[in-house]
Amino acid sequence: MNLWNRLMCYSRRRSPWLFHMNGGSCNGCDIELIASLTPRYDAEQLGVRLEGSPRHADILCITGPITHNAVNPIKTVYDQVCGPKAVVAIGSCPATTNVFIDSRTLAGPLNLHIPVDVFVPGCPPRPDAIIQGVAKAAEILAERAAKKLPVEPVVMPLVGPGCGGACGCTAADKSGAKEAQP
């Protein structure tokens, strides 16, 4: 790897730009994501910035249990994010659909539709946990830029209904599921 590529990997790790998408969330995680960017928690010290356009973003942050209305927009936005990219699922909802399990208007969990790199569990997760998840995603992004990982994340197989690999089961581990522990 030449100097230019090494510099690019370093920059990617130090300045991940986020695009936030609400897939039917209750606003709890969305507000905590914004709170993690504001002075008390100050994720901006990691170079994190909330970006208005998916085409400028590196990390896609998705909240909510993924309603049927949100599936196609999420796929579109995922395709619009330029590679290398990483996906962070914030909260328990995108991982398992949380208390809304069995609802017929939901198409979750999120990893049925797009590949997810980091799950940040919690209802809602604390801003510290969200920052940790984003930092982890930034590392994955840098590895992906260095071609150590495939450019596109790998879709994880589902084990059991609604498991989503978020429970840390072995089949998901083999396919490279990563989980943030708050």
Partner 1 sequence: MSYKIPMGPYHPALEEPYKLDMICEGERVSDAKLHIGFNFRGIEHLAETRNYIQVIALMERVCGICSNIHTLTLCQAMEQLTGQEPPPRALYIRVVMAELERLHSHVLWAGIAAKLMGFKTMFMTCFEIREKVMDVLQAISGNRVNYSMNRIGGVNRDIDDPLAVLAMVEQLEREMVRTVIPIFTTSTTARMRCAGIGVLTHEKAISCGVVGPAARASGVPQDLRRAAPYAAYSELEFDVPVEKDGDVRARLLVRALEIMESCRILRQALAKMPSGEFHTGEGKIVFSTGTATSRVEAPRGEVMYSVSWKENSRNPSRVHVRTPTFANMPAIRWMVIGARLADTPLIQASIDPCYSCTDR
Residues 79/119, Cβ–Cβ less than 8 Å:
no
Is residue 153 near partner 1 by the rule CB under 8 A? no
* CA torsion angle 35 36 42 48 (round to 10): -120
> Degrees (nearest 5) of the Cα angle 5, 117, 42?
80
By CB under 8 A, residue 69 contacts partner 1? yes
Q: Is 73 in the site for partner 1 (CB under 8 A)?
A: yes
Task: Check residue 1 for interaction with partner 1 (CB under 8 A).
Answer: no
Q: What angle do CA 7, 10, 11 make, to 5 degrees?
A: 85
Q: Per-residue x/- marks for partner 1, 74-93, CB under 8 A?
A: ---x----------------
Q: Is 28 an interacting residue with respect to partner 1 (CB under 8 A)? A: yes
Cα–Cα distances in angstroms (integers) from residue 75 to residues 81, 87, 107, 108, 165, in the given order: 10, 12, 13, 13, 20
Residue 45 binding partner 1, by CB under 8 A: no
In the complex, the smallest distance separating the C-beta of residue 180 from partner 1, rounded to whole angstroms, is: 18
105 belongs to the binding site for partner 1 (CB under 8 A): yes
Q: Pick from 85, 95, 98, 113 the residue near partner 1 by CB under 8 A.
A: 98
Give the containing element (helix H, strand E) for 86: strand 86-90
Report CA 55 to chain centroid distance, whole Å. Answer: 16
State the binding string over 113-142 for partner 1 (x if CB under 8 A, else -). Answer: ----------xx-x----------------
Peptide bond into 109 cis (omega under 30): yes
| Residues near partner 1 (CB under 8 A) | 21-22, 24-32, 34-35, 38-40, 52-53, 64-65, 67, 69-70, 73, 77, 98-100, 102-106, 123-124, 126
